[in-house]
């Protein structure tokens, strides 16, 4: 310790002594310096001064005491019993009233949008930027509550061991169509693609294998209502896999192609295998698989079908939200616009056909 500090401490003590001399005569005086203390001494020489707290602090204390009483009287505080009820505060405040006032404010803002939406088609909403922005925001909550458990946040899809549990909604691949009205119909009416099982019963199998022995012609001409033999399922699945890789015409899968064309597949998936959106029959020519897209997975789909009633069938049910009464028509319109705006929505064909080009169009650049 330096001399300096010592002398500073000495000065401080002098000041205390000075103050004590000018102040009251307290019986508890520190013999050492005469400073007024409370008289308690700890650890040999620690004592409390009796200085008053500052004035501003005392005023603050009094003000907060008054504040507590006023607050306590104004708001329902402690439920003191009064005649046949309890003290509810003189201000008449309740949490419900406050919430309703807030809600009124929000409704006033929303009201003008909601009133407009009621009378509009989803396509008209989409054409109005202001409304679309509004709908995207309220659609987010509706989607999170009703759709995300199956379709995933932002429509990324969810998977189970059979493949996609519910389809991806934020891409431009659609089972039932990506136009705004198609999306609206998917949500309002629900969807349930049906593909029958193709495995024959035991009796039918005997019949089919007999036909197969008669040769290719017999197998082709068989009554498809009987189903397909395991061999036919195997070759047609290989054909479907090849289709998805753009190799549908390769000679290795010619047998499968024959089965595809001669059985019921074309009725639903089309001659070209591209599917039909009216019935949600998947496009088989792309690499986007709704269910397990391995050879085994494809064989399974063909064997047991989708929503076919077979106990082993794949299940794909988009619930009917109108019937369930869970969503209003306006809610469904909002959701249609919200889903459309994930980015995969497809524009309606223009109402007026574009003028016929005078010169032959340049060969189109093939887009991915
Ligand atoms: C119980 C799970 C489930 C819930 C909940 C659900 N979906 Fe679906 N959704 C499906 C399934 C499964 C399909 C596919 C049906 C099929 O394959 O035939 C589907 C299909 C769709 C399609 C058609 C997709 C296409 O490719 O054409 C749209 C659009 C859609 N859902 C939107 C919604 C919206 C919006 C909600 C919320 C209101 C919702 N879904 C709630 C399971 C669900
Ligand atoms: C009655 C109409 C119908 C017939 C007949 C039919 N399908 Fe389908 N198929 C569908 C529908 C609908 C789906 C999509 C189911 C869904 O996602 O809800 C589907 C899905 C599939 C899938 C799964 C696609 C994916 O993305 O996972 C394969 C593979 C398939 N079909 C192959 C065939 C083959 C091969 C045949 C002929 C042996 C056939 N289908 C006959 C309606 C049919």
Instruction: Report pTM.
Output: 0.72
Mean per-residue pLDDT, 122-133: 92
Give the Å distance between the CA of 181 and the centre of ligand 1: 15
| 327 touches 261 (CB < 8 A) | no
315 compared with 79, residue with greater pLDDT = 315
Alpha helices in 223-324 (DSSP H): 230-244, 254-262, 265-269, 295-304
Helix 95-118 / helix 129-146 crossing angle, nearest 10 deg? 120
Between these two residues, 209 and 176, which has the higher pLDDT value?
A: 176
The average pLDDT across 303-307 equals 94
Verify whether ligand 2 is closer than 6 Å to residue 198 (CB atom). yes
Confidence band of 80 (pLDDT split at 50, 70, 90): confident
**Polymer length of the chain:** 368
Q: Name which of 89, 137, 91, 128 is nearest 110 in CA terms.
A: 137
- Who lines ligand 1 at CB under 6 A? 146-147, 149-151, 166-167, 169, 174-176, 183, 186-187, 191-193, 280, 316-319, 321, 335, 339
Which domains, from first to last, does the chain contain? 55-86 (no CATH), 98-191+319-340 (1.10.760.10), 202-304 (1.10.760.10)
Ligand 1 centre to CA of 320 (Å) is 9
* C-beta separation of 333 from 125 below 8 A: yes
Q: What pLDDT does 224 receive?
A: 59
Task: Look over the chain and give the mean of its residue pLDDT values, rounded to a whole number.
Answer: 82
């Amino acid at each position: 310790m330096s001399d300096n500090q010592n002398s500073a401490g000495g000065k401080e003590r002098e000041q205390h002594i000075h103050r004590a001399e000018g102040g009251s005569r307290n019986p508890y005086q520190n013999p050492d310096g005469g400073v007024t203390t409370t008289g308690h001494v700890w650890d040999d020489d620690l004592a409390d001064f009796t200085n008053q707290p500052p004035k501003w602090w005392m005023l603050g204390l009094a003000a907060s005491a008054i504040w507590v009483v006023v607050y306590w009287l104004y708001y329902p505080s402690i439920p003191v019993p009064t005649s046949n009820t309890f003290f509810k505060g003189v201000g008449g405040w309740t949490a419900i009233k406050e919430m309703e006032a807030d809600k009124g404010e929000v409704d006033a803002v929303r009201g003008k949008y909601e009133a407009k939406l009621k009378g509009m088609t989803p396509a008209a909403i989409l054409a109005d930027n202001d409304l679309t922005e509004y709908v995207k925001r309220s659609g987010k909550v509706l989607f999170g509550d009703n759709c995300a458990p199956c379709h995933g946040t932002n429509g990324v899809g969810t998977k189970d061991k059979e493949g996609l549990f519910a389809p991806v909604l934020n891409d431009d691949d659609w089972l039932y169509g990506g136009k705004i009205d198609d999306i609206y119909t998917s949500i309002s009416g629900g969807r349930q693609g049906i593909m029958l099982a193709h495995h024959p019963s035991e009796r039918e199998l005997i019949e089919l294998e007999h036909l197969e022995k008669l040769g290719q012609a017999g197998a082709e001409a068989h009554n498809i209502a009987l189903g397909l033999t395991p061999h036919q399922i195997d070759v047609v699945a290989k054909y479907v896999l090849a289709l998805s890789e753009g190799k549908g015409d390769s000679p290795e899968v010619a047998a499968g192609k024959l089965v595809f064309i001669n059985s019921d597949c074309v009725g639903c998936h089309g001659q070209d295998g591209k599917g039909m959106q009216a019935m949600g029959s998947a496009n088989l020519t792309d690499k986007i698989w709704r269910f397990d897209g391995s050879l085994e997975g494809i064989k399974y789909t063909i064997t047991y079908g989708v929503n076919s009633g077979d106990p082993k069938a794949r299940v794909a049910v988009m619930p009917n939200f109108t019937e369930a009464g869970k969503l209003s028509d306006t809610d469904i319109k909002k959701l249609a616009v919200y889903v459309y705006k994930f980015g995969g929505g497809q524009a309606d064909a223009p109402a007026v056909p574009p003028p016929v080009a005078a010169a032959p169009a340049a060969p189109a650049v093939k887009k991915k």
